Amino acid sequence: MIIGVAGGSGSGKTTVARRLVEIFAEPPVVALIAQDAYYRDQAHLSFEERQQINYDHPLAFDNDLLAQHLRRLRAGESVEQPIYSYLKHTRLAETHTIGPAKIIVLEGILVLEDAVLRDLCDIKVYVDTDSDERFIRRLTRDMMERGRSLDSVIDQYLKSVRPMHLQFVEATKRYADVIIPGGGNNEVAIGLLVARIKERVVSSL
């Protein structure tokens, strides 16, 4: 089973995805796949050129490779997931081995935008959070975890994050089977989602 968890940057989708992983616990049972790991390889570009890429546009992602990996995981095979560096704006030489699992949680801002990825998902989730809260979360995360400056985060938000959210991300809400308001702390919504997942897992046995 593949569960797609989408939502704007800073919406809490990663928190929701990690909560699902915690609830279903062991790696043979659940695996977490982040769409961010599948940003296209930019090694052929200079660092300055990489900085100009719009990383919130659907074309920034190598969804063909992501879909291939999801199919292989669902078929019981392991995959070598790329490792993306937010500091270098490209993939690293190393990869991360992910083994097959009964439940695959796929999270990313645009996992419901791509028709192929949508069709691979058994349950589609959209995490819906107020724009001000999303911006504050993104600002804090990018400065503390990704080594970004205040000015660079604000500039990127105004030039690409907000426009791309309005054009591409927000529109994918209509594809969701489940909408979780307020992000990863909505225990009621997460509880209902977990119950539905358990039903689907039992019915597939």
Q: What is the 3-state secondary structure (H, E, C) of 44-86?
A: CCCHHHHHCCCCCCHHHECHHHHHHHHHHHHCCCCEEEEEEEC
The pLDDT value recorded for residue 133 is 86
Q: Which CATH architecture has domain 2-182?
A: 3-Layer(aba) Sandwich (3.40)
The pLDDT value recorded for residue 202 is 65
Q: Which residues pair with 97 in a beta bridge?
A: 80
Q: Which long-range contacts (CB under 8 A, 24 or more apart) does 43-46 make?
A: 43/90, 43/91, 45/90
* Residue-range domain boundaries for the chain: 2-182
List the chain residues with pLDDT less than 50.
Answer: none
Environment class of 42 (CB within 10 Å of its CB; exposed 0-12, middle 13-18, buried 19+): buried
The pLDDT value recorded for residue 138 is 84
The pLDDT value recorded for residue 27 is 60
> Which residues are within 8 A (CB) of 66 and not within 5 positions of it... i.e. 6 or more apart?
33, 35, 38, 117
The pLDDT value recorded for residue 205 is 52
**From CA 107, how far away is CA 126, in angstroms rounded?**
10
To 10 degrees, what angle do helices 187-204 and 13-24 make? 50
